[in-house]
Structure 1
């Protein structure tokens, strides 16, 4: 990892208005958790609904999308990537450095709030909060890699990412059984189920399959993004 590239990437990511958007959903999740904790509803059901739907289903993918595309897509669109490509740095090192920043940011802004929200809602009992936290970590890393790849291969990365997260995962993935196998959210739930001890987490994808698919998406997206970035010339054309 190149520390200079990492520092510049983080500065560009958090030095803009998008940081307000990035903070909006985790703050909302934590606020809802505090309010829900004081309600008369069953806390375990609340934890599964909020952490499974709002956190894993919305917070993690949206954060991964904004961060994953934000670390590189903007530079490609405005042409400033040429200054980075002109440096004697291997393209894979540029990609992995930006991915490290994206993953770390997604964990900080999505996985940590998910874990904290779980503690607020249900405490540390049955490892429910820990399970959803682990699921958010795994899913967040995969989302970051996938959306970074989209940021390299298309100028419509945000639209393509929203289509995947909202249409494929939230709509099709939740209601079409076969599609769940190709849902990062469901892979994250598999890890949640493996960690949590209450036995009520529903995960249609088996743990070994989920781990393999998470690894394939993460490594494959990173490798392909490196290859595509290597094909960019200083003029921005392939």
Structure 2
């Protein structure tokens, strides 16, 4: 990890208005949780933590953050200054991925934990369980959307289509597609942390964990290769 690249990435990601915009979704999650608690609707915890947080908040934030750490630099051409430095391309990618993952955890996992504690406290270990699911899903989303930021100039559009169509629609309602859903993989890990029967996950842990690892590593490796190709194109 390169600290200079990390510092510049954080500054570019959270600078201007982006940092404020990133707060909107977590604040909304906490407000909904407070309202549900006030109305004594703790039974809605699974819907709020599962569908709103893990199912919507995490992929959307993962998209904004994962593409934001590199796509903007590629679009405006400022990536050339970074590529001109004697840095291995894998180190640039892994540093930006670390920033993306850490930021996603900050804006998604922490609010999920707080929302869970507001809704049900420590009951059935739901707050921690969904937080774990958010952590692993957030890391995978960050890697996938970082890759999109490198390979296409329409990363946000493509990523939004993936998040809304594949993850939210097919991943939730089409049985076979659930096996290839990052959201469902995160839910599978959440199930192992929660009390028995508190969370239902259609994908087994033995399937979810290997797929999470494969997708994260493959996306990171491919992003590195594509970034190296971008360097060659610039040189030519």
Q: Same fold (TM over 0.5)?
A: yes
Contact 1:82/1:234 (CA < 8 Å) preserved in 2? no
Measure the CA separation in 1 of the matches of 2:227 and 2:175: 35
Task: Tell me how large the CA RMSD over aligned residues is.
Answer: 1.3
Question: TM-score when scaled to structure 2?
Answer: 0.97
| CA apart distance, 1:237 | 8.0
Rounded to whole Å, the distance in 2 between the matches of 1:198 and 1:47 is 16
Query: Which residue in 2 is equivalent to 1:193?
Result: 191
Q: 2:150 aligns with which of 146, 149, 152?
A: 152
Deviation, structure 1 residue 235: 5.9
Q: Is 1:37 aligned to residue 37 of structure 2?
A: yes
Task: Give the C-alpha shift of residue 202 in structure 1.
Answer: 1.3
The equivalent residue for 1:137 is: 135
**Partner of 1:102 in structure 2?**
100
Distance 1:237 1:204, change over 3 A: farther
Q: Is the 8 A contact 1:128 1:198 kept in 2?
A: no
Residues 112-131 of structure 1 mapped to structure 2, 5 A cutoff: 112-131=110-129
* Number of residues of Structure 1 aligned to a counterpart in Structure 2: 236
The TM-score with structure 1 as length reference comes to 0.96
Residues in 1 aligned to 2:169 and 2:232: alpha-carbon distance in whole angstroms: 40
Tell me what 1:227 maps to: 225
Q: Residues 11-60 of structure 1, C-alpha deviation per residue, up to 9 Å, x if partnerless?
A: 0000021222211010000011111101133x1x3110000010001110
Aligned to 2:14: 14
Match of 2:28 in 1: 28
Q: Which moved more, 1:227-236 or 1:159-168?
A: 227-236
Aligned to 1:62: 60
Equivalent position of 1:173 in the other structure: 171
Structure 1 residues 183 and 189: alpha-carbon distance in aligned structure 2, compared to 1, 3 A threshold:
same
1:235–1:80 Cα change, 3 Å: farther
Give the deviation of 1:233 after TM superposition: 2.6
- Which structure 2 residue ranges, 5 or more long, are not aligned? none
Q: Distance in 2 between matches of 1:233 and 1:98?
A: 17
8 Å contact from structure 2 (residues 126, 198) kept in 1: no
Shift in Å, 1:124? 1.1
C-alpha contact (below 8 Å) 2:112/2:131 kept by paired residues = yes
Contact 2:124–2:198 under 8 Å retained in 1 = no
Give unpaired runs (5+ residues) of structure 1.
none
1:92-117 deviations in whole A, cap 9, x for unaligned?
Answer: 00000000000000000001101110
- Secondary structure, aligned partner of 2:207: helix
Provide, for residues 69-105 of structure 1, a one-character-per-residue CA deviation record: whole Å limited to 9, x for no partner: 0000000010000000000000000000000000000
